[in-house]
Chain A
Amino acid sequence: MKRKYPYSGLDDILKEVELLNPSGALKLNDSIVSHIYLGAEKIAGEVVSQQEKPKIDWDRKMDDILTSKVFGFPSMLLLLAVVFWITVTGANYPSEMLAAALFWIQDRLTDLCHLLGAPAWVNGFFVEGVYLSMAWVVAVMLPPMAIFFPCFTILEDMGYLPRVAFNLDRLFKKAGTHGKQSLTMSMGFGCNAAGIVACRIIESPRERLIAMLTNNFVPCNGRFPTLIALASLMVLGMTASPGVTIIVVGIVLLGIAATLTVSWGLSKTLLKGIPSAFVLELPPYRRPQLGKIIVRSIFDRTLFVLGRAICVAAPAGGIAWLLANIHSGGLSLLQHCGSWLNPFGQLLGMDGFILMAFILGFPANEIVLPILIMSYLAAGSMTELSSIEQLSNLFVVEHGWTWLTAACMMLFSLLHYPCSTTLLTIWRESRSIKWTALSALIPLVIACIVCFAVAQAARLLGWV
């Protein structure tokens, strides 16, 4: 038998609710909260005992230094510098070994092609295009990532990141944004897409959008090795890595400055508002689990990110080879594109090939430098590198790089648009074409302005 369902039941109940609690007269939430707090206090008081207070509160002592007004910033800088120094120094040697090994394999692959009597384009496309670009990604990217990730994860596991947020909170408040933005920036160091998702911890939509639009100014793992390699080019001659470390730290600080400036600008114009207050709990310092961190950051992160880079690099390398080897009117397509972009590149202190590399590197920032190397090799007379040391030869001697070229490319790499994955993430999170477009346009315009200004100033002053 079917019973008639009491649809009106809910309405009746709600009517009764209105009678029982006329316009919130019961002050229900206040009562609930106070009773629950009292209950928790009572139970905890009865079961918890602390025999003796620890003599020294190490957490407090560490926080007194790490978050103090005087030592907060210097200690933060020092830690940052130490992490980069370890990365730069540690990555040097394995990079060279990897490059040597991978180039050796390349020669064997070429031998194999000859042995099989394959046509020249097979060797060209697959070995000099696809394989070589993957080899460069591995050689340039793998060592710094494998060192930087664990270092940073150790800091995170210890509980240092919230202290960074605490230190930077004052600056973000001045910029009219949320202090938690520094946490999302820390995530951005690993991957900007992850940084964008982390922006969910910011409740106010206005501040969340600002954090999303500016996350790009934190150099992600895809850009780090590029920055390190370019910094090494800049300090050519003095092989000591402190110089490289200082440059990389400087670039990161510049990125933070750009974040603050753009955030400030946005909160004064497009996204007006006052910063909302928040309470951030400083968690206790915990002993990091070294073994687990190293295993996890290598398997979960380094290899995964590297895999993604290789997947993008393989077709991009193929395309670069094709562009370099399809000729029209006596010049290769690559040279056509390069020379077409060149005037604009020169204005920004770079050249056409560098801009090409940035455009082709849109799917993943990791491949910008490998693509550039490939195009230089294809376009110049020097067609093969036997070791990573010859890189500077290729750049400086063959293609006329100066310190300004390296500096402008670093600046452009730091500031330019986010990669395609990050943009997609921004769109998914904001569901707005407008904000997604702005998150690419704002950095691009800033990157162009900054590079233009630096290049023109350096040339006017006769520094180059």
Chain B
Amino acid sequence: MGLTYQSCSIGVTKESFSKRRTSGVDYTVALAGNPNTGKSTVFNALTGLNQHTGNWPGKTVLYAEGMYTYKENTFKLVDLPGTYSLMANSPEEQVARDFLYTGRPHTTVVVVDATCLERNLNLALQVFEITSRVVLCVNLIDEAKRKKIVIDMDSLAGKLGVPVVTTAARDGYGLDTLVSTIADVAAGRVKTTPFMIKYKDVIEDAVQKLEPKIKMLLGDEFNTRWLALRLLDKDQVVISAVKQHLARKNGFAATGGEAPA
């Protein structure tokens, strides 16, 4: 029963989802993860909101957005729908992926289920390709403990090149560390160098040929490697997004602003 204030009122269909970075917000933080890993629980714990949580996959059908402050900075937290991948095969995947590259969050928290890390890492690795500012939140650590699953967190952080925080969000365990880590990554105090999957040589060569041209066209604002891969795949959604972006930039330049190099 997805029933909270928002979901039983007229506001039920209102999308509280906006790609703009609203004023007064210092940092935008996205929550990504597989279905049923506890994203909404983390979201509620951090924002103090009561987004409906429930133990079934796919329950976040509304994009939830909430605020919290930490050390005088205001963070906007966006709870993305749970997905297994970012290949844009379903509306949820499309939404999650689009937010990551058009919303350009300052930090993306990938919430993973400690009891099935391998499957959850698939999504994390795909997020790494889009954005480098990632925090891995290994949630449900209490369940993993009960199943006698042990994860070497230091080694995991080393291999992935991003901070790893273990949490049991339902009991509030580890959330303080998560909040401070998010702030560190958002402010750039902690540098992340996420592990990048290398593809076969033909693809890597093609990406290398495309990357400098994309950089020339769009500047450093975007992740050129990911864009190169998407363009190489002739992803129509991404192509039209780039077109739109160029049109906007162009309008800006025409009114006397500085055109990007």
Contacts and interface: CB of A to CB of B under 8 A. Distances in A.
Given A43-B195, A51-B150, 19 more contacts: A21-B206, A31-B203, A32-B197, A36-B126, A39-B197, A47-B152, A47-B156, A149-B1, A190-B3, A194-B1, A197-B62, A198-B61, A201-B59, A201-B61, A281-B35, A281-B57, A301-B8, A304-B8, A421-B8
A337 to B, nearest CB: 28
Of residues A6, A51, A300, which shows the largest number of chain B Cβ atoms within 10 Å of its Cβ?
A300
Contacts of A52: 148
Nearest to B34: A281
Interface string A383-404: 0000000000000000000000
Interface stretch (A125-133, A255-263, A282-290, A325-333): A282-290
A39 B119 CA distance: 11
B188 interface: no
Interface stretch (B25-33, B70-78, B99-107, B225-233): B225-233
Interface in A1-52: 2-3, 5-7, 9-10, 12-14, 16-17, 20-21, 24, 26, 28-29, 31-33, 35-37, 39-41, 43-52
Majority secondary structure of chain B interface residues (helix, strand, loop or mixed): helix
A425 interface: yes
Contact of A304 (B5, B153, B206, B249): B5
B209 interface: yes
Interface residues of B, number: 78
A40 B125 contact: yes
Interface in B121-138: 121-122, 124-126
A180 B92 CA distance: 15
B155 interface: yes
Nearest to A52: B148
Nearest to B207: A20
B50 interface: yes
A197 B52 CA distance: 13
A28 B233 contact: yes
A283 B56 contact: yes
Interface string A401-442: 000000000000000000001001100110000000000000
Contacts of B146: 54
Interface of A: 2-3, 5-7, 9-10, 12-14, 16-17, 20-21, 24, 26, 28-29, 31-33, 35-37, 39-41, 43-54, 149, 152-153, 156-159, 161-162, 165, 180, 183, 186-187, 189-191, 193-194, 196-198, 200-201, 203, 280-281, 283-286, 289, 296, 300-301, 304-305, 308, 421, 424-425, 428-429
B179 interface: no
Contacts of B124: 40
Contacts of A424: 10
B198 interface: yes
Contacts of B67: none
Contacts of B9: 304, 308, 421
A46 B155 contact: yes
